[in-house]
Structure 1
Amino acid sequence: MTTPTGSPYAINWDVTYACPLRCIHCYSESGRRAASQLSLKDMLRVTEELISLRPASIQLSGGEPLLVKGLFQVAERISQAGIPLALYTSGWLLEEAMLPELLRLFTWVHVSVDGATAGLHDAIRGRPGSFKRALRALTLLDGAVAAARQRGDTASQFQFGIDCVVVRSNFARLEEFCTELAPRFPQLSFLTFQAAIPSGLATRPGFVEHELLTDEQAHWLASDEGRQHLSALVPGTVQLQLSDSRALQMHPEHFASGTAANYLMHVEADGAVRSMAIYEGTVGRLLEEPASVLWERALQRHSDPFVIETLTPVRTMKDWAEAARRLDSHFGSEEVRARIARRPDYFPSSAPAVRPPIISLRKPAPWRLETEPSQEP
């Protein structure tokens, strides 16, 4: 996908870094750092700046967005502007009283589930009981959508689904999402499997060694074989989406092929705009400069000589993680570098046990552009 220079296609806004969970792969280190969220007045100022860009969609994430007082006022303003809106939530705080506003203001609600069982999900998400809370949220959403359809409310475009971040611990159990979890929610619209990106806590050497997908696993996740295998298992009413996340890498070859995610603006909790969505380093704050100026500045970073020099040699998941650490250190502020230095490394002693693969993985072909045909038999 390509985007016009003057406007991002999509905007992701981490509205807070406060979070009840402690996910092992968290790209924003939420729950382990200051919340950094703005006052409602300033959030509404940021909202107006984002609306001025007229993106195709805005995504509210975090942290846990449902912790933010005034979230629905922000959502109301975006909805009034006619921009489709998505909410990314762990489901921990989703309550029945929120359902009317969720269905009225949002186009999509994504509930994060990283395991089809409590033991696996809770281990990855870092808090006992998080699986139970996620399923309760999905049950509430399922009931609300069913009731709306029974009333004949067909005007709403609301959809909800499950987002799974794929790591080595749950890679062998993706089938269970399709056969055991998704069928529990008849109104479920989508099921997404997206490879963990080497960003934030997922750049730690221990995490890369034990939980970041291997090249073979990432290759399978993006392959026709993987899609066909899981599509045969998921209910026919559920849209299946799989991604190896490499579009977010911003590799020069992906720019050349038009597959880089250069259409995405990422906004931090304090209103700062990142130059590239998954790497540290900002280009200014929306409370101080126009959104259009910051977007243009972010786009310029993509051709920075250090970025090109660092990403061009990347060929493997491990390469990607090493490049991410270099970029974070180079473009991050002193405060960011200090936060990175304080990160404890990841050790697998408390990680969920890894089961044998669900399929026989073939070694990926040599690095090639996504637009090139496969050379595998």
Structure 2
Amino acid sequence: MNIPDKPLEVIWDITYACPLRCSHCYSESGRRPARRLGRSDLLRAARAICALGPYGVSIAGGEPLSIPDVAEVVRIFSAAGISTSLNTSGWTLRAEQIEQLAGTLDRVSVSLDGATAEVHDRIRGRAGSFHRATGALERLDDTVRRRRDAGRDVFSLGIDFTAVRSNFHQVEWMCAEVAARYPALEYLAIGAAVPEGLASRAGFARRELLSDAEAALLGDRAHGVRLQALAPATVQVSVTDNLALKMHPELVRAGVFLPVLQIEPDGEVRAMPAYEGTVGNVLCDAPHDLWRRAVARWHHPFVVAALEPARTMEQWAAAVRAIDHRFGTAEDRARIARRPEFTGY
């Protein structure tokens, strides 16, 4: 595609607060200050995101359901005609939240990184997280079915599965068995973990990012067709190697990129979703300026030089570390320096 004159989608990490400690966490949530805005600025940021003119907004984190005003944020996007999705671990999901969000959200994705508690809890870093996630899926599934039976608006329900070496053997299991447990489930999104945040550490890239062969399999259309055939007919299985997130110069030139803006909890706008380095803040900068600066970063000589030789997953991770150090703030660099090296579970 040609580079559009605005972001087509916005990812808003609305808070860095999180009850889990995922080994691959892109935002290091739960390990750093939450940086969440107060109610007034939170709603102001939501309106500023509307001014960017995206077709869709994905509310993520951290754990977005830990924000008391998240339903009000969703209503702002819904009123603006923006398709809105929410990604949750399910840990903090309460019945009243489901009802508040049911008629305004378009999609709810529950992160489930294993078909068994042993695998999911190990990756997510907290015992009981599998039970919380599957319990949330059961309650959401029940809500969807009840509201549909009553002819009421309701969100599409899905599962988001981040593929790493520790759970890759359970991909088929997720399609054939886990997806069938929830009658109202509409989609299962399977994506390769990318070397962002904690997943960019050299040890993690070496031990847990998918091998290049495994990543290629997720990018193979025929393999996606095979996985789709394993799932219930009512569940759409999407599979991706997530290479578009690399923003490799060759891919950008070929039109293979994600026209996405990622926004941090306090409104700071990242130039590239998988990389540190911001270009302004939605609370004080003009929407057009933010997008123009972001696109300029894609073509920055340092970014191009770092990404040009990055062909393998480990090379990509090394490029991420270089770009993060170059464009991150002093605070970012200090946080990165404090990351413990990953040596396995």
Give TM class, smaller chain: over 0.9
The answer on 1:191 being equivalent to 2:194 is no
* Stretch moving more, 133-142 or 219-228: 219-228
Matching residue of 1:280: 276
Alpha-carbon distance, 1:47 to partner: 1.0
Is the Cα–Cα contact under 8 Å of residues 3 and 255 in structure 2 kept in the other structure? no
Kindly state the Cα deviation for residue 294 of structure 1 after the two structures are TM-superposed: 1.2
Q: Report what 2:224 is aligned to.
A: 227
CA change 1:322–1:67 in 2 (3 A) is same
Following superposition, which runs of at least 4 residues in structure 1 exceed 4 angstroms of deviation? none
Match of residue 176 from structure 1: 173
Alignment of 1:1-377 (within 5 A): 1-5=1-5, 7-153=6-152, 156=153, 158-261=155-258, 263-348=259-344, 350=345
Higher deviation after alignment, 40-49 or 329-338:
40-49
Contact 1:17 1:33 in 2 (8 A): yes
8 Å contact 2:77–2:84 — kept in the other structure?
Answer: yes
TM-score, normalisation: structure 1: 0.90
Q: Check whether the contact 1:3–1:9 (CA below 8 A) recurs between aligned residues.
A: no
1:90-130: CA deviations, max 9, x gaps? 01111122222221110000100000100100000000000
- What CA deviation, in whole Å up to 9, does each residue of 1:333-374 have, x standing for no partner? 1100000000001111x2xxxxxxxxxxxxxxxxxxxxxxxx
Instruction: List gaps (5 residues or longer) in structure 2.
Output: none
Give the AA of the match of 2:74: A
**How big is each residue's C-alpha offset from its partner over 1:46-69, in whole Å with a ceiling of 9 and x where there is no partner?**
111110122110111000001112
Tell me the amino acid that sits aligned with residue 237 of structure 1.
T
Contact 2:148 2:154 (8 Å CA) reproduced: no
> How many equivalent residue pairs?
345
CA distance in 2, matches of 1:2, 1:238: 31
Structure 1, unaligned runs of 5 or more? 351-377
CA RMSD, aligned part only?
1.0
The percentage of aligned residue pairs carrying the same residue is 47
Separation in 2 of the partners of 1:123 and 1:2?
Answer: 41
Match of 1:4, as an amino acid? P
**Equivalent-residue separation in structure 1 for 2:7 and 2:31 (angstroms):** 30
Q: What SS class does the counterpart of residue 314 from structure 1 fall into?
A: coil
> Which amino acid letter does the alignment assign opposite residue 255 of structure 2?
G
The Cα of 1:228 is off from its aligned counterpart by 2.3
Q: Note if contact 2:144-2:154 (Cα within 8 Å) is conserved in structure 1.
A: no
| Aligned-partner residue type, residue 129 of structure 2 | S
By how many angstroms is 1:173 displaced? 1.2
